[in-house]
Amino acid sequence: MQTKLAALIRYLSEISLAEGHVIPWSSPVVSFGNSSSAVVATLGLNPSNREFLDESGNELDGPLRRFHTLSSLGLDHWAEADATHLHLILEACCAYFLRNPYDTWFRKLDYIISGTHASYYDFPNTACHLDLIPYATAQKWTAIGYADQSALLSHASETLALLIRDSPIRVLVLNGNAVVTKFQELCDIELDKQLMKEWSLPRRLTGDVAGFAYRGNVRAISSIELDRELLVLGFNHNIQSSFGVTSDVVNSIRRWVTDAADAVV
């Protein structure tokens, strides 16, 4: 994984990738938690800028720090990073939930997968979180143009595939419609889609937002073969940010994930 991390860091020096999108002084985040002990993984788009910045836009430091940056590693440029720096970056990823995790975001997803008896917060981790793109961006993902989104995804997709291949992960849970769409593009597949009436989100003026569940099995990601069949489950509502996601909807999604994963974990 150090080799792939080194490649991700090299991309941070490319103006076309970093300028205006990726926070250039933030390290790539290959995982939240230890993927080598996880049997369940959740999948998002990319790390939040709040993993590196406080509410005022200042770099997190001291006990509040979550991941390494150029300053925490004592570097002026990523080209100076050596094997020791790579080890420290990977160590911070593996130990994420033992330090200062962004609980406002992760506790909700941890609840969704808790029926599988996997958790981010166990030691050793029985669950981890992964992102399609391991770079934190200065603006919201939706503010990045499609071409730049695709460029970022193509740079990082092999790393995600190799990480899953070399882990014991059996179930991958996709959080939100954008993640489902990008994952299907990445794998060149179409997951089975099912309307879930109990997941509907009420809207007074525009009509209810329908809820959909996605399910499938994959044996390859980004043309990289896995050594097993991976169960992929997804839902179109983003648990953290979709407006009006009620506790009843969350509980129903949790039950569905639990039942779907029962034969696998």
With the C-alpha atoms ordered 119, 246, 48, 132, is the resulting torsion angle positive or negative?
A: positive
- Look up the pTM and report it: 0.94
- The runs of H, that is alpha helices, within 83-202 are 83-94, 103-113, 146-165, 177-187
Check whether the bond before 134 is cis (ω within 30° of 0): no
Mean pLDDT over 130-137 rounds to: 94
Q: Which domains are present in the chain?
A: 2-261 (3.40.470)
**For residue 129, which of 151, 98, 97 has the smallest C-alpha distance?**
97
pLDDT digits (tens, 9 = 90+) for 41-88: 999 999 999 999 999 999 999 999 999 999 999 999 999 999 999 999
pLDDT grade, residue 18 (50/70/90)? low
Sheet bearing 127-131, strands edge to edge:
127-131, 40-44, 171-175, 224-235, 212-221, 192-195
pLDDT digits (tens, 9 = 90+) for 28-52: 999 999 999 999 999 999 999 999 9
pLDDT grade, residue 19 (50/70/90)? low
Element (DSSP H or E) covering residue 194: strand 192-195
